[in-house]
Structure 1
């Protein structure tokens, strides 16, 4: 079956490794047909002073040029120019030009910050203990639904329940939050991803959970698969397991973005 990953990273950020060419060649070796390279979009110096989370602004044009050069060299793989764009809500301090994201074929929408707190940063886990999982889960999904309903140019919503990364779980049944998330996403018309990297964190399951993925399926949300690879050798990790998770949730096809801004489907066998 055709393999795709619509969420990957390179060494253009401080927490990734490898060049664009190395990532592309790893994908080619794994028989991946569609590779979206979605490096973290630059954040401000106030939010990311060491350019660890996002790429440095001065590297953006080099990143785009490297992807364009790779596309000209390899005709046996479809390479999509993308980025991962953080939703900061009321804490947004960047000013975007009207057509800033027009050149990107994939814009992953992600929530890594809740009220300016990077909740998935291992160095700041104390806040979990101080505030408690119940409050953080409710606030996370509120912020996530705001991001989905915003006018930001997100095409795919990344790792929708990233809040579970450290395996801090709420004391209540989160289905009410899942239903709100699915309804917000349905109204937005955006896609969602199965992010296979979650299996390798403390939560030990993909993003989203089977229950949330089933809610997305019931709501008719188009779904794709991303490995969220931050090193070339992880580019194909668990793609087929991601397909199986989709199938078990009720999906029968994987949705794939195309270079012309459209979508196509792959039947899950």
Structure 2
């Protein structure tokens, strides 16, 4: 089994902990073949929020990556470098700038802010909708997700239904929300992740929900399993549980990355 974990964070985002050496040790303990580092990227207008790197932190971030590579030297563990970038309207030139700063293996695209500026992921927003209401929030979110995928700027689409982190969702068949974003992901040739952090959030369910995973498989979208680790002990967490879901959805391969090139490995 070729195990990777590409969605992970560092203390530079101000809400994670651990050292490069501790993450590498945990990756080896978990039997990972590749450990990818993808902290929350800076935003252009600072201060933007209090849970991401600042622009001035990029050199320290690159040094963190290089320390991880040094710690993994001779172990067989491959270190991959990435960023988790937030998608908001008009952000494309900034993402292109971030992309130019290092020879990244991948960029993760994520949405934590709705089109109306509502930071739905923040703890103080627990069990709240924006002033626009739940249905409008879901519409904002999934339209934004489709636009993010269509941009072609990202290799991994992060925790694609994070909008239900607090457990709230509209009633009825939700598949119409998912169809356009999944079509855009497939057209872009991007990878969807099973993000195991959802099992440890109020929704108590992985991202994405099983119906989305099945639709993604039917659309031919490649898959990766990621932990969204914010501490070494979370690295590789719940991989086997996610693998079972991937198999149930019909997946037979998992994706890895090398300088933005997708490599597929048999699940078996």
Same fold (TM over 0.5): yes
Deviation at residue 136 of structure 1 after TM alignment = 1.1
CA separation in 2, counterparts of 1:125 and 1:98? Answer: 31
Instruction: Report what 2:219 is aligned to.
Output: 219
Cα gap change, 1:230/1:193 in structure 2, threshold over 3 Å: closer, same or farther? Answer: same
The answer to whether the 8 Å contact 1:89/1:147 transfers is no
The secondary structure found in structure 2 opposite 1:144 is: helix
**Aligned ranges 1:22-171 → 2 under 5 Å:** 22-43=22-43, 44-48=45-49, 52-74=50-72, 75-76=74-75, 77-90=77-90, 94=94, 97=97, 100-101=100-101, 103-115=103-115, 116-125=117-126, 127-128=128-129, 130-151=131-152, 153-171=153-171
Please identify, of 92-101 and 124-133, the stretch whose mean Cα deviation from structure 2 is larger: 92-101
Shift, 1:172, TM fit? 3.1
Q: How far apart, in 1, do the equivalents of 2:221 and 2:32 lie?
A: 24
Distance 2:95 2:253 in 1: 37
Cα 1:55–1:98 shift into 2, 3 Å = closer
How far did residue 263 of structure 1 move? Answer: 2.2
Tell me how far apart the structure 2 counterparts of residues 3 and 189 of structure 1 sit (CA, whole Å): 21
Q: Distance in 2 between matches of 1:178 and 1:97?
A: 29
Q: CA deviation at 1:46?
A: 4.4
* Partner Cα distance (1:140, 1:193) in 2: 17
**Cα distance, 1:176 vs. partner?**
0.8
Q: Mean Cα displacement is larger for which, 226-235 or 239-248? A: 239-248
Secondary structure, aligned partner of 1:72? helix
Aligned to 1:193, the other structure's residue is in SS state strand
1:189 Cα offset (Å): 1.2
Q: Partners in 2 of 1:55 and 1:68 — Cα distance? A: 17
Rounded Cα–Cα distance in structure 2 between residues aligned with 1:181 and 1:215: 11
Cα distance, 1:47 vs structure 2: 2.2
Cα deviation for residue 205 of structure 1 reads 0.9
Distance 1:83 1:62 in 2: 14
User: Which residue of the partner structure matches residue 2 of structure 1?
Assistant: 2
Tell me the alpha carbon deviations over residues 59-114 of structure 1, each in whole angstroms, 9 at most, x when there is no partner.
21111122123213423201101110111114789585385255111211111110
Q: How many residues align?
A: 264
Describe the shift of the 1:37–1:150 C-alpha distance in structure 2 as closer, same or farther (beyond 3 A).
Answer: same
Partner residue, 1:267: 266
Alpha carbon RMSD of aligned pairs, Å?
2.0
Query: Can you list the C-alpha shifts for 1:87-146, whole angstroms capped at 9, x where unaligned?
Result: 111478958538525511121111111022211112134751743322211211011111
Show structure 2 runs of 5+ residues with no match: none
Mark the CA change 1:94 to 1:256 in structure 2 (over 3 Å): closer, same or farther.
Answer: closer
Quote the Cα distance in structure 1 between the aligned partners of 2:31 and 2:61.
23
Q: Give matches, 1:251-262, under 5 Å.
A: 251-258=251-258, 260-262=259-261
Poorly superposed stretches of 4+, deviation over 6 Å = none
Report the 3-state secondary structure (helix = DSSP H, G, I; strand = E; otherwise coil) of the residue aligned with 2:11.
Answer: coil
Secondary structure of the 2:33 match is strand
Deviations 1:145-187 (A, max 9, x none): 1111125x21111100000100011123111111222111111
Report the CA distance shift for 1:195/1:92 in structure 2 as closer, same or farther (over 3 A).
same
